[in-house]
Amino acid sequence: MGATFVIVLREGFEAALLLGIVYAYLAQIGHADSRRYVTLGATLAVAASVLMGLAVSLLSGPLADVGPDVIALVVIFAAVALLTWHGWWMGRHARELHGDLQRRVDAAHASHQLWMVGLIAFTGVFREGAETVLFLWGLTTQLQDLTGWAALGGAAAGLVAAAILGWLVFQGGRRLSVQRFFGVTSVLIMFLAAGLFSAGVGRLQGIGLLPGGDPLWDTSWLLDDHGGAGGFLAGLIGYRARPSALEVVAYLIYLAGASLVFFPRLFRRGSGNGRVETLILTK
């Protein structure tokens, strides 16, 4: 029971965290009415996950072999692009969003395609969605005895726990001041996207499309990335115990590029006012 709880909680947490952030974000910019984009994105992602699960179960042949790899890669890199765009938008507009709620609503309205936020929700849920659907389906085939029911119960509890965590992120996020919220989520999203980008590069190496792949170092003695805290950090910021050289480079390049894009005022010469550290630390 404990094992299935942890598996579903971990798969569900990343999606729930992202959903909590985007819902809180919409509340922060005064566009709670645009929640429907997020809800629609998440719902479509669940439907797509079920379809994908069915396809994997029913189809075979070359399409079924290559298809999941292509879809996984497209989703990973699309998520990186969307999160980067989102961070870029927050970096550019953080200052306009000082004022009262009406000013925020207007500023966001003038320059933001809110349906893109729905796409973020879609990629966040769909990324691990099909795997979770198949895992749950596998559990339902073992309901002959008490152990089977306990396993399914554990999985259901994991799903509920993930949802509660997402809800807490939402409640906490919308209560922060808008600057602090933008500061904290920008940092979080930057590391999340760096981890995704490096994971995408790693998968390309894994199938031999990019060269290399042997580990540059091994910190599994210190923190294993399979389970527990290491597994959690793997999902959140892309921690790897045995990263390849290219993955490390990809991670660092993304962080360097993204910090320019996410925190433009940190790097502007003579930036006396409105620096991001102040955004995060004061307030």
Partner 1 sequence: MKRLAMTSFLFGGCLALLLALVPTAAAQDKPVEVSVTLEKQKFTPEEVKVKAGQPFLLVVTNKDAKPAEVESKDLRFEKVVAPGKTISIRVRALKPGTYVFLDDYNKSTRGKIVAE
Window contacting partner 1 (CB under 8 A); options: 29-37, 63-71, 99-107, 170-178: 63-71
Rule CB under 8 A: say whether 228 interacts with partner 1. no
Residue 172 DSSP symbol: H
Report how far residue 111's alpha carbon sits from residue 163's, in angstroms, rounded to the nearest whole number: 31
Rule CB under 8 A: say whether 96 interacts with partner 1. no
CB 209, min distance to partner 1, A: 5
**Residue closer to partner 1 (CB basis): 123 or 169:** 123
Window contacting partner 1 (CB under 8 A); options: 37-45, 51-59, 172-180, 255-263: 51-59
DSSP 32-54: GGGHHHHHHHHHHHHHHHHHHHH
Rule CB under 8 A: say whether 264 interacts with partner 1. no
Rule CB under 8 A: say whether 229 interacts with partner 1. no
The SS3 assignment for 259 reads helix
Report how far residue 101's alpha carbon sits from residue 96's, in angstroms, rounded to the nearest whole number: 11
Rule CB under 8 A: say whether 147 interacts with partner 1. no
DSSP 124-164: HHHHHHHHHHHHHHHHHTTTTSHHHHHHHHHHHHHHHHHHH
CB 207, min distance to partner 1, A: 4
Work out the end-to-end distance of the chain between its first and last CA atoms, rounded to an integer number of angstroms: 43
**Residue closer to partner 1 (CB basis): 99 or 206:** 206
Report how far residue 43's alpha carbon sits from residue 27's, in angstroms, rounded to the nearest whole number: 20
Interface residues with partner 1 (CB under 8 A) are: 3, 7, 53, 56-58, 60, 62, 64-66, 68-70, 73-74, 77-78, 81, 84-85, 111, 113, 116, 130-131, 134-135, 137-139, 141-142, 202-209, 213-215, 225-227, 240-242
